[in-house]
A and B are shown apart, each in its own frame.
Chain A
Amino acid sequence: MTARTLFEKLWQAHEVVPETVDTPAVLYVDLHLTHEVTSPQAFATLRERGLTVRRPELTVATLDHSTPTDRDQLFGKVPIRMESAARQIREFESNCAEFGIELLGLTHEQRGIVHIIGPELGLTQPGKTIVCGDSHTSTHGAFGALAFGIGTTEVGHVLATQCLLQRKPRTLAVNVEGELGRGVTAKDLVLSIIHQLGVGGGTGSVIEYRGSTIRRLSMEQRMTVCNMSIEAGARAGLVAPDETTYAYLEGRPRAPKGTAFERAVAAWRKLPTDPGAGFDREIVIDAAGIAPMITYGTNPGMSVPITGTVPVRSGDGVHAKALEYMGLTAGQPMLGQKVEFVFLGSCTNARLSDLREAAGVLGGHKVATGVRFIVVPGSQQIKRAAEAEGLDRVFIDAGAEWRESGCSMCLGMNGDVVTRGAYCVSTSNRNFEGRQGVGARTLLASPITAAASAIAGRIADPRGFLA
């Protein structure tokens, strides 16, 4: 048998009808995750056409995007302040009830950001195809699942048929070798990869992250890397499953149990790319050469090492526009730039390890005067786990806000926004103009860089705060 990549194995195992020159493949979906923002029009289409959901048990719904992170609003003590968000949430609840879809709703103890709870519950498993009306669905690829974001029309396709029409993408191997330095996190690694590939460098491709550095990453770190694959334009990111993956999944509520788990692991062991299998393209990254990274511009590819300066690119109109929006000057150092907001959260960096690392930097220090530091755990389970080990006290005592879980300030849909013109060091995934609020200036970085900057009130090197 010919040597196949992990991607090819995943693809072939889900072909209901293979692609031809004239028609795309019909690809089966094992797990569909859905939320309040990108599904209403899909449910409306089902209703208009008199269609039902083909496999309701393969769709899991939660509330995260326009959902409040304020406790009183979330638990109904006071009304949800944003009327349009409240209406969208109510409509989603009634859609899920009408079509028989399980909803981890507003007050459910397992609610959280869709890409955080899938893995946390053990729904995300190697070998599956996973889709969601959200581009950061690439996160789930960390388990060796083919996971990608889809539009709302496609949400309707999955609901009605459990399938999608897809053309086979190309493959891109990103080989990372060597040790990451002290204070260099998975976030810095992926920002560095995006910088190297460019924001359109992965278009049309599925990335497989490989090499000794990737093998040593924890599941949470692998999720951070795969999460941002879309920021290089790639549809999906993949990491081959291994002992780290199986250990993470064992005992999770929705993962197989006992002998079923052993049988599943035996099947998962066959997934990794065979020796000698070829990729359409390969790049090599030297992990030891990566520093803590921060973005200076208005897309995630515009980043520099934190000790670096804003690049000088005379004659580059895109660069000039970005600096004008960001209020930064070519040649100025990133360190020392004053910040008004710090956001620790999002599907990129709001897992327990992220909160622990940030709290480790914060321990004993105070948030600088004039800085608003918002901490939004990725799920209600993470929130409770963090509280059980006292992390909430570390954040609150330092002067940060400790919130309920949700997407929050990553995209500012629920009213959690950065004010116009203000700078925000953010652990999220996008620094697009206006992403965190109209006129907001986002600086993407790791959780430890965010915590260090909150203490300093300026962009700060986390390595100065590590024990």
Chain B
Amino acid sequence: MDPIRTIRSRTVAMPRANIDTDQIMPARFLTTTTRAGLGEHLFADWRYDAAGRPIAEFALNRPDAAGCQILVAGRNFGCGSSREHAPWGLYDYGFRAVISTEIADIFRSNALKNGLVPVLVDEASHAALLARPGAEVSIDLERSSLTLPDGSEVRFPIEPFARYCLLNGIDQTSYLLSKQAAIADYERRMQA
């Protein structure tokens, strides 16, 4: 994994609350056995009509959304299914961070393992971001801070270990594998 320090990008806004992982990645695309190419199906049922044509008014289909790496979403983003295909799809599409007032547990855990930074903000900052979709913001992971379009800076909470892994490009599997001696000890204790 590549280390992540800062993300600077214009935003795409999807203000709806409770955007579930079935919307982010509909189940019919889950028969894939790889992580590749899921960006194509991201938000498929909101992005395309029944004939497969892009729906012009959908946020990702607006011309100014091209190249945006930061998604500002409504409260409780990523609720529902545990499918990691949701953050894989967001990352593959080009997103590097999701900002919301509330992000569902399993989605947040999955995102952090795939270089997609979940950023939790207060209601006022959220409202400011939604009011100015397309404005440029920047995320500084080292400082756990987000610079809003008006230049003001807010800090956001992020699990310290996941942040360390993102900053240093370390994957969590390697860390867990380094604990094999402790795991073997635990197994011996349980068998005794």
Q: Which residues of A contact B (CB under 8 A)?
A: 16-17, 21-24, 26, 28, 37-38, 40-41, 44-45, 49, 51, 54, 65-66, 82, 84-85, 87-88, 91, 133-135, 149-154, 156-157, 160-165, 167, 169, 199-200, 203-204, 230, 233, 235, 299, 317-318, 321, 411-413, 420, 430, 432-435, 438-439
User: Is A16's CB under 8 angstroms from B106's CB?
Assistant: no
Stretch among B26-34, B53-61, B90-98, B143-151 lining the A interface: B26-34
Chain B 129-166 interface mask (CB, 8 Å, partner A; 1/0): 00000000000000000000000000000011100100
> Which residues of the other chain, B, contact A28 by a CB distance below 8 angstroms?
183, 186-187, 190
Bound: A393/B113 CA distance, A: 49
Using Cβ atoms and an 8 Å threshold, which residues of chain A touch B176? Answer: 26, 157, 160-161, 163-165
Contact call A420/B50, Cβ cutoff below 8 A: yes
| Residue B168 CB within 8 A of the other chain | no
B6 part of interface (Cβ distance < 8 Å): no
* Alpha-carbon gap, A156 to B183, bound state (A): 16
Selected from B23, B104, B187, the residue in CB contact (under 8 A) with A434 is B23
CA distance A299 to B182 in the complex (A): 42
Do the beta carbons of B82 and A149 come within 8 Å of each other? yes
A160 touches B182 (CB 8 A): no
- Interface residue range, chain B: 35 or more
What would be 5 A-B contacts, judged by CB atoms less than 8 Å apart? A38-B82, A88-B32, A135-B106, A161-B176, A199-B79
Q: Which of B20-74 contact A (CB under 8 A)?
A: 20, 22-23, 26-28, 30-35, 45, 50, 74
**Closest chain A residue to B45 by CB distance?**
A434
User: In the complex, are the beta carbons of B33 and A87 less than 8 A apart?
Assistant: yes
Q: Which residues of A contact B106 (CB under 8 A)?
A: 135, 149-151, 235
Q: Are A413 and B27 in contact (CB under 8 A)?
A: yes
Residues of B within 8 A of A162 (CB): 183, 187
Q: How far is the CA of A265 from the CA of B47 in the complex (A)?
A: 53
* A26 surroundings in chain B (CB, below 8 A): 176, 179, 182-183
Q: How far is the CA of A40 from the CA of B17 in the complex (A)?
A: 31
When the two chains form their complex, are residues A151 and B76 in contact, meaning their CB atoms are under 8 A apart? no
Rounded to whole Å, the gap between the CB of A211 and the closest CB of chain B is: 25
Report yes or no: B31 in contact with A165, Cβ–Cβ below 8 A: no
Min Cβ gap A325→B in Å is 10
Which chain B residue has the least Cβ–Cβ distance from A16? B186
A41-B33, A151-B110, A153-B113 given; A16·B182 CB < 8 A:
yes
0 or 1 for each of B1-33: is its CB under 8 Å from A? (1 = yes):
000000000000001111010110011101111
Given contacts A135-B82, A157-B172, A199-B76, contact A40 B105 (CB under 8 A): no
Residues of B within 8 A of A (CB): 15-18, 20, 22-23, 26-28, 30-35, 45, 50, 74-76, 79-84, 102, 104-106, 109-110, 113-114, 159-161, 164, 172-173, 175-177, 179-180, 182-183, 185-187, 190
B173 touches A435 (CB 8 A): no
Contacts of A40 in B (CB 8 A): 33-34
Are A151 and B82 in contact, with the CB atoms below 8 A?
A: yes
Asked whether B27 lies within 8 Å of A412 as measured between CB atoms, the reply is yes
Closest to B83 in A: A38
Give, as a whole number of angstroms, the nearest-CB distance from A23 to chain B.
5
Q: Which residues of A contact B160 (CB under 8 A)?
A: 21-23
Find A66's partner among B31, B159, B183 (CB 8 Å cutoff).
B31
Measured CB to CB, the nearest residue on chain B to A420 is B50
Q: Is the CB of A22 within 8 A of B161?
A: yes
Q: Assuming A54-B183, A163-B183, what are 17 further A-B pairs, CB within 8 angstroms?
A: A26-B179, A66-B30, A82-B31, A153-B84, A154-B109, A154-B113, A157-B172, A169-B105, A199-B76, A199-B79, A203-B76, A203-B104, A299-B18, A430-B20, A430-B81, A432-B22, A438-B50
Ordered nearest first, which 3 A-B pairs have the shortest CB separation? A40-B33, A84-B31, A200-B76
Whether A160 contacts B177 in the complex (CB less than 8 A), given A150-B106, A200-B18, comes out as yes
The residues of B that contact A169 with a CB separation of less than 8 Å are 105
- Per a CB cutoff under 8 Å, which of A37, A49, A157 touches B31? A37
The reply to whether B84 and A151 form a contact with Cβ atoms under 8 Å apart is yes
Q: By CB atoms of chain A within 10 A, which of B84, B102, B175, B185 has the most?
A: B84
B30 touches A413 (CB 8 A): yes
Which residues of A have CB within 8 Å of B172? 153, 157, 165
Q: A153-B113, A299-B20 are in contact. Are A16 and B82 (CB under 8 A)?
A: no
Contact (Cβ within 8 A) B180 A88: no
| Alpha-carbon distance A21/B18, docked complex (angstroms) | 30
Chain B contacts of A200 at CB under 8 A?
18, 75-76, 79, 102, 104
User: A135 contacts which of B26, B30, B76, B81 (Cβ < 8 Å)?
Assistant: B81
- Nearest to A414 among chain B residues (CB) is B31
Within the complex, the shortest CB–CB distance from A65 to chain B, in Å, comes to 8
Determine whether the beta carbon of A87 is less than 8 Å from that of B31. Answer: yes
In the docked arrangement, what's the CA distance between A420 and B31, Å?
21
Contact at A45–B173, with CB atoms within 8 Å? yes
Complex formed: what's the CA distance from A273 to B160 in Å? Answer: 31
The CA-CA distance from A165 to B172 in the complex, in Å, is 8
In the complex, A152→B34 CA distance in Å? 11
Flag if B161 contacts A321 (CB, 8 Å).
Answer: no
Q: Chain B contacts of A87 at CB under 8 A? A: 31, 33
A235 to B50, CA, bound (A): 35
Q: With a CB–CB cut-off of 8 A, which chain A residues contact B159? A: 24, 167
Docked-complex contact B76 and A17, CB < 8 angstroms? no
Check B22 against A16 for contact (C-beta < 8 Å).
no
State whether A233 and B114 are in contact (beta carbons under 8 Å apart), knowing that A37-B30, A157-B176, A420-B50 are contacts in the complex.
no
Q: Find chain B residues with CB under 8 A from A151 CB.
A: 82-84, 106, 109-110, 113
Select B173's contact among A156, A204, A233, beta carbons within 8 Å. Answer: A156
**Chain B, residue nearest A149 (CB):** B82
Residues of B within 8 A of A430 (CB): 20, 22, 80-81
Residues of B close to A16: CB separation below 8 A: 179, 182-183, 185-186
Q: How far is the CA of A135 from the CA of B32 in the complex (A)?
A: 19
Which residues of A lie under 8 Å from residue B83 when comparing CB positions? 37-38, 151
